């Protein structure tokens, strides 16, 4: 590509990204504005569809500022439109606190994007024995079940609820994809701790429950019935698939 043409394209791209940059010579400002509106409009529509709660909850001026600043100043690492929401989450995690936006904004964005991320997830479920003993064997978690913990009540935030003070207790959420649909459910602290343990450690169900009992400061005898019931409940819901072979 001739260097002059490359310079012209870069100049136009920089202007369309941010009109504070110098415009390319020889093109009417009116025409450049049309190009810019086409680009920024498509980005805003895509983000509004990916983050409907944020779009509805923030004042219009704040939402537009975020979209325009993201478009102008953030350098995305993916060329895929399907991954643009994940880039927006990274942008909010990096800049929201410095721009005087609500403290809950990055977590709400992560929560909203997780639904799309799970729908797009192409992970293959690991090999497992669906009839294995969940206590003596090593439970196998589904790749399509994710447990998240948030400092802010992301499930409750909306146009009628914009919290100012952070709650004392975290919001614990399970996301699960089954039959092409993603569902959300709240988790009790013990259930969340067990799911995190199942995700992070390869050990028997009994070993998971012993570790949880020690962390909670209760006896294994006290925790075991509740823990076994939780494992069996996870299996019935497809969150736990079974046990590892061998």
* 85 part of a folded domain: yes
Residue 246 belongs to a domain: no
Confidence (pLDDT) at 167? 96
- Residue 102 located in a structural domain: yes
Q: Is residue 125 a part of any domain in this protein?
A: no
* Three-state DSSP string of 213-241: HHHHCCCHHHHHHHHHHHHHHHHHCCCEE
Answer whether residue 23 is part of any domain.
yes
Q: Which domain holds residue 89?
A: 1-120
Residue 198 resides in a domain: no
Report the helix count and the strand count for the chain, using DSSP H and E: 9, 5
**pLDDT (tens digit per residue) in 164-201:** 999 999 999 999 999 889 999 999 999 999 999 999 99
pLDDT of residue 159: 96
Decide if 226 is inside a domain.
no
* pLDDT tens per residue across span 52-104: 999 999 999 999 999 999 988 888 888 888 899 999 999 999 886 566 789 99
- So what's the pLDDT on residue 44? 94
**Which distant-in-sequence residues (6+ apart) come within 8 Å of 240 by Cβ?**
134, 139, 140, 141, 142, 198, 231, 234
Interhelix angle 29-50/105-120, rounded to 10 degrees, is: 80
Domain count, the chain: 1
Domain-located, residue 60:
yes
């Amino acid at each position: 590509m001739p260097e002059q043409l490359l310079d012209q394209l870069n100049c136009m791209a920089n202007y369309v990204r941010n009109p504070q940059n110098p415009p390319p010579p020889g093109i009417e400002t009116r025409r450049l504005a049309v190009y810019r509106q086409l680009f920024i409009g498509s980005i805003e529509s895509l983000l509004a569809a990916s983050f409907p709660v944020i779009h509805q909850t923030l004042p219009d001026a704040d939402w537009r500022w975020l979209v325009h600043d993201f478009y102008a100043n953030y350098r995305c690492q993916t060329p895929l439109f399907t991954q643009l929401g994940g880039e927006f989450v990274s942008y909010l995690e990096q800049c929201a606190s410095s721009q005087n936006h609500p403290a809950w904004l990055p977590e709400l964005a992560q929560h909203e994007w997780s639904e799309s991320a799970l729908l797009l997830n192409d992970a293959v479920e690991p090999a497992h024995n669906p009839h294995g003993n969940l206590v003596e064997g090593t439970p196998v978690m589904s790749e399509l079940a994710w447990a998240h913990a948030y400092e802010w009540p992301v499930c409750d935030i909306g146009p009628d609820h914009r919290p100012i003070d952070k709650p004392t207790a975290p919001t614990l959420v399970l996301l699960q994809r089954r039959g092409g649909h993603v569902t959300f459910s709240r988790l009790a602290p013990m259930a969340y701790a067990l799911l995190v343990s199942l995700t992070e450690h390869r050990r028997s169900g009994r070993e998971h429950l012993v570790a949880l009992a020690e962390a909670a400061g209760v006896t294994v005898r006290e925790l075991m019935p509740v823990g076994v019931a939780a494992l069996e409940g996870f299996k019935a819901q497809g969150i736990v698939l079974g046990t590892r072979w061998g």
